[in-house]
């Protein structure tokens, strides 16, 4: 049986087991099996940081011409940013159109807020959100440069690791050719060994997905989703449209690959993103699938995917756009066009600053609310459905990276073909 089929069975079985546990209120059982899921995520994260460092260094050192490196980086970054701005704007338009916050009746709103007051765990999360630092653009740029690359590696500070790896990779490409080739060979061997590790860890995936989904559903149940059904449906609906229409079309028109083939090749990546809620944890498997199933050049995979896992979050952008407008509607605040444009800007920046780990999108949402003058209590309102929305937005975040890598790869290949004809 194929891996994605086994993962899907794990997911379905987890949904059933979790619902039964929630129904009979025996969530203690979920706590017993959850460590299997946690172990899987830990193993993937263990591989992610060395894989990013090794593959980016190898890719930058191996790019024969630096112009190509610059072009690939620029194409990737522009597509990331354009997608995120569009995603936020679409979220805002949909929230204006469907007005999920207008229909939330006051009694229900009071009940949700009261439930939130009673739940210490939720309160803690909201407190973290409201205290989120408002990082400026300069701070963000400075944080990309590590004062100590080993600390950055140890702390899993992705952006800083990426910067250092690019710079060291560039330096490798400038040393004596015999020495550079030896380094390249070593990096290539390390990369292959890390991929062997990824494949080994992926054998655990179906069981881990079962454990993760069982514990999420046993812990949260479905009742929160019902209380905020319209808001959740609008958010998930926009994400689905963005995934299949926007990325599907982009893959077809710019990548010249059938969307069917694209989504099928990445089905296990999508299922993993949904189950783990972590772009970073899925990165190793995404890299292997993009290279082996979609035939994307290793150099481009190594460069675009880690960058994307760190800054490209179109799912988080949609979530923040819809959530900001939803919160304004619930609290009866009319947003001017100018304010909505400000939300597009701040939500895009906040999404860029969102780390690829579970539950960060709601914390950076506090920045968006603060910058647009919306009440921070709004976080308490939506925190109950946070987990399920996090699972969905991670799928979009991750597959958006793969689509971008594919588009950049095919455009580079077309360019090379044109050049060989001339």
With CB under 6 A as the contact rule, the residue among 397, 399, 409, 410 that binds ligand ASP is 397
Per CB under 6 A, which region of 78-86, 200-208, 350-358, 369-377 contacts ligand ASP?
350-358
Closest to ligand ASP by CB, 163 vs 280, is 280
CB of 388 to ligand ASP, least distance (A): 12
Site string for ligand ASP, 206-235 (x = CB under 6 A): ------------------------------
Residue 49 vs 183, nearer CB to ligand ASP: 49
For ligand ASP, which is the closer residue by CB, 202 or 282? Answer: 282
Would you say 21 or 161 has its CB closer to ligand ASP? Answer: 161
The least CB distance from residue 270 to ligand ASP, in Å, is: 12
Closer to ligand ASP by Cβ: residue 69 or 388:
388
Shortest reach from residue 154's CB to ligand ASP, in Å: 20
Three-state SS string over the chain comes to CCHHHHHHHHHHHHHHHHHHHHHCCCCHHHHHHHHHHHHHHHHHHHHHHHHHHHHHHHHHHHCCCHHHHHHHHHHHHHHHHHHHHHHHHHHHHHHHHHCCCCCCCHHHHHHHHHHHHHCHHHHHHHHHHHCCCCCCHHHHHHHCCCCCHHHHHHHCCHHHHHHHHHHHHHHHHHCCHHHHHHHHHHHHHHHHHHHHHHHHHHCCHHHHHHHHHHHHHHHHCCHHHHHCHHHHHHHHHHHHHHHHHHHHHHHHHCCCCCHHHHHHHCHHHHHHHHHHCCHHHHHHHHHHHHHHCCCCCHHHHHHHHHHHHHHCCHHHHHHHHHHHHHHHHHCCCCCCHHHHHHHHHHHHHHHHCCCCCCCCHHHHHHHHHHHCCCCCCHHHHHHHHHHHHHHHHHHHHHHHHHHHHHHHHHHHHHHHHHHHHC
Closest contact distance (angstroms) between CB of 417 and ligand ASP is: 34
Smallest distance, Å, CB 313 to ligand ASP? 6
Report the site for ligand ASP in 279-298 (rule: CB under 6 A). 279
Q: Which of 173, 277, 310, 312 binds ligand ASP (CB under 6 A)?
A: 277
C-beta of 368: minimal distance to ligand ASP in Å?
Answer: 12
Shortest Cβ 355–ligand ASP spacing (Å): 7
Distances (CA, A) of 105 to 101, 110, 199, 230, 332: 9, 9, 50, 12, 12
Binds ligand ASP by CB under 6 A, chosen from 165, 286, 394, 404: 394
Q: How many residues bind ligand ASP (CB under 6 A)?
A: 16
Q: State which residue, 60 or 235, has the beta carbon closest to ligand ASP.
A: 235
Q: Which of 278, 314, 329, 348 binds ligand ASP (CB under 6 A)?
A: 278
Residues 353-392 that bind ligand ASP (CB under 6 A): 354, 356-361, 390
Q: Which residues form the interface with ligand ASP (CB under 6 A)?
A: 277-279, 313, 316, 354, 356-361, 390, 393-394, 397
């Amino acid at each position: 049986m194929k891996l994605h089929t086994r993962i899907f069975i794990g997911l379905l079985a987890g949904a059933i087991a979790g619902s039964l546990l929630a129904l009979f209120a025996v969530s203690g059982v979920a706590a017993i099996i959850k460590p299997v899921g946690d172990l899987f995520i830990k193993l993937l994260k263990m591989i992610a940081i060395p894989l990013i460092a090794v593959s980016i260094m190898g890719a930058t050192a191996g790019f024969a011409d630096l112009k190509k490196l610059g072009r690939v980086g620029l194409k990737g970054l522009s597509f990331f940013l354009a997608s995120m701005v569009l995603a936020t704007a679409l979220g805002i338009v949909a929230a204006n159109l469907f007005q999920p916050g207008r229909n939330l009746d006051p009694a229900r709103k009071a009940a949700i807020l009261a439930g939130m007051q009673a739940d210490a765990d939720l309160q803690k999360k909201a407190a973290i959100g409201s205290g989120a630092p408002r990082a400026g653009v300069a701070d963000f740029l400075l944080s990309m440069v590590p004062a100590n690359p080993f600390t950055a590696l140890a702390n899993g500070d992705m952006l800083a690791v990426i910067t250092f790896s690019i710079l060291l990779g560039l330096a490798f490409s400038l040393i004596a050719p015999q020495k550079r080739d030896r380094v390249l060979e070593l990096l290539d061997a390390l990369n292959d060994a890390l991929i062997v590790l990824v494949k080994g860890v992926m054998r655990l995936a179906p069981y881990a997905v079962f454990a993760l989904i069982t514990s999420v559903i046993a812990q949260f149940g479905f009742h929160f989703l019902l209380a905020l059904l319209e808001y959740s449906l609008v958010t998930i609906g926009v994400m689905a449209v963005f995934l299949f229409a926007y990325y599907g079309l982009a893959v077809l028109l710019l990548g010249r690959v059938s969307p069917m083939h694209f989504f099928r090749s990445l089905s296990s990546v999508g299922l993993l993103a949904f189950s783990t809620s972590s772009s970073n944890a899925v990165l190793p498997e995404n890299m292997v699938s993009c290279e082996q199933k979609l035939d994307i050049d290793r150099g481009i995979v190594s460069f675009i995917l880690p960058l994307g896992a760190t800054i490209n979050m179109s799912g988080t952008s949609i979530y923040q756009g819809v959530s900001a407008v939803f919160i304004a509607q619930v609290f009866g605040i009319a947003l001017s066009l100018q304010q909505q444009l400000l939300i597009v800007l701040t939500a895009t920046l906040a999404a860029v600053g969102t780390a690829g780990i579970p539950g960060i999108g709601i914390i950076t949402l506090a920045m968006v609310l603060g910058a647009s003058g919306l009440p921070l209590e709004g976080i308490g309102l939506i925190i109950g459905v946070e987990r399920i929305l996090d699972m969905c937005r991670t799928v979009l975040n991750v597959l958006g990276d793969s689509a971008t890598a594919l588009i950049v790869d095919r455009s580079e290949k077309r360019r090379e073909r044109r050049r060989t004809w001339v």
